[in-house]
Structure 1
Amino acid sequence: MNPEEEDTEEEDDYEPAFVDASAADVTVHLDLNETDEPPPPDDDDDDLDEEEEEDLEEEDGVMMEEDVAVEDRDAADESVLRPEKDECEMKMEERKGSIFAVAWATTTKRDDGEGGSVEREVMCAGGSDDRAVLTSTSGGGGVTTTTLENTGKDSVSAVKFSRHSNGSNNSEVLLATANLDGTVSVHDADGRYLRQLEGPETGVEWLEWHPNGPIVLAGCEDFCAWMWNASDGNLMQVFAGHSGSVSCGQFSKDGKVVFTGSFDGSFRAWNPRSGMAIAAFQKGGLFHDGPVTCMDSKVDDNGNYLVLTGSEDCTLKLSTVHANAADVGAGGSKVLGNFFAHEKCIECVEFCDGTVGNYAASGSVDATIRVWDLPTQKVRGVLGHGKAVSQLKWVPNSAMLYRCARFRFSKVVCALASFFSSSSKLLSRFFLFATKGPGATS
Structure 2
Amino acid sequence: MPAWASRNYSLLTAAAVVTNLGAHGALIAAAFAVLDSGGDAGDVGLVAMARTLPLVLFLLIGGAVADRLPRHRVMVAANAVNFVSQGAFALLVLTGDPQLWQMMLLTALGGTGQAFFNPAAEGMLLSSVKGEQASRAFAVFRMAMHGAAIGGAALGGAMIAAMGPGWVLAVDAAAFLVAGSLRAFLDVGHVPDREPGGGLLADLRDGWKEVASRPWLWAIVLQFTVVVAVVGAAESVYGPLVAEDSLGGAAPWGLALGAFGVGTLLGALLMMRWKPRRLLFAGSLCVFPLALPSAGLAVPLPLAGLALVMFVSGVAIEVFGVTWMTALHQEIPEDKFSRVAAYDWFGSVAMLPVATALAGPAESAFGRSQALWGCAGLVVLVTALVLLVPDVRNLTRRSKEVARSEVPQVTGPVSADAEGTVGRLG
TM-score category (smaller protein): under 0.3
Higher normalized contact order (CA 8 Å, seq sep 6+, divided by chain length): 2
Larger radius of gyration: 1
| TM-score (normalised: structure 1) | 0.23
Determine which structure has the larger helix proportion and give its number. 2
Higher strand share: 1
